Amino acid sequence: MPGKVYDATWGRLSAFGYDWFLSRTEEAGLREERRELLAQASGRTLEIGAGTGLNLEHYPVAVTELVLTEPDPHMAAKLRPKLGQSGRSAEVIEAPGERLPFEDSSFDTVALTLVLCTAPDPGAVLREVERVLKPGGRFLFIEHVRSDDEGLARWQDRLHTPWYLFGEGCHCNRPTLDTIEGSGLRVEDVRHGELPKSPPLVRPKIFGSARAG
């Protein structure tokens, strides 16, 4: 029971402080990168791990239907009022990315941002992305990743456990691009960069798109 109380308390605190924690990074460029990425979304669109709703304002009019999944009930509790205030019509479903409650080939676009770092099984999430996308459907992503710099990568490995505990399950050293390229999705475009004004352990970043076969 004490562990469950701790988990619930930390989960509420994490959800409460998430927007504040990312605010400097958002203002320094991440907000515009979200906008650029999601401008490519169209048709029936699914966002996996919608969190507190930082992507809501960036979906274009080409998105005809928006569905948001979020497995964390504390994040979902922040997401729903933000959605109501946005004036946008969307459905919020509490479901993990590894087990999406949707039919095969039912979305034109699937997007996720800063999600695969915390997914218990990122490979399973990508298999679900491939499953629910229509043939030729587009997958959009922004993720922080393991550094190509060997020195920083060693620090990511050394500090993985304390960061994992602080970040409520965030893996700072995941080679996420390798996972995407090893999935059934066909990578179209990927750009490497940095999350501005973020801790060095989670600064290396990829931004890109892929297609379902």
- Residue 191: φ, ψ to 5°: -120, 140
* Confidence at residue 210, expressed as pLDDT on a 0 to 100 scale: 98
pLDDT tens readout for residues 6-40: 355 556 677 768 889 899 999 999 999 999 999 99
pLDDT one-digit tens code per residue, 169-213: 999 999 999 999 999 999 999 999 999 999 999 999 999 999 998
- Does the 2-211 domain belong in CATH 3.40.50.150? yes
- The mean pLDDT value for 121-139 works out to 98
Sheet harboring 204-211: ordered strands across?
A: 91-93, 63-69, 43-48, 107-113, 133-144, 204-211, 186-194
Q: Domain limits of the chain?
A: 2-211
- Confidence label for 135 from pLDDT (cuts 50, 70 and 90): very high
Q: What span, in angstroms and rounded, lies between the C-alpha atoms of 136 and 70?
A: 25
**Burial category of 150 from C-beta neighbours within 10 Å (exposed 0-12, middle 13-18, buried 19 and up):** exposed
Ramachandran bin of 158, using left for φ above 0, alpha for ψ from -120 to 50, beta for the remaining angles: alpha
The reply to whether the predicted model has a pTM over 0.85 is yes
Instruction: Give percent of the chain above pLDDT 90.
Output: 87
Residue 21: its pLDDT value, please?
84
Average pLDDT, the chain: 93
Length of the chain: 213
Residue-level pLDDT at 205: 98
What pLDDT score was predicted for residue 3? Answer: 38
108 touches 40 (CB < 8 A)? no
Query: How would you classify the pairing of strands 186-194 and 133-144?
Result: unpaired
Tokens of 92: 């919020």
Question: Residue 89 gets which letter from DSSP?
Answer: -
Residue 154 pLDDT > 60, yes or no?
A: yes
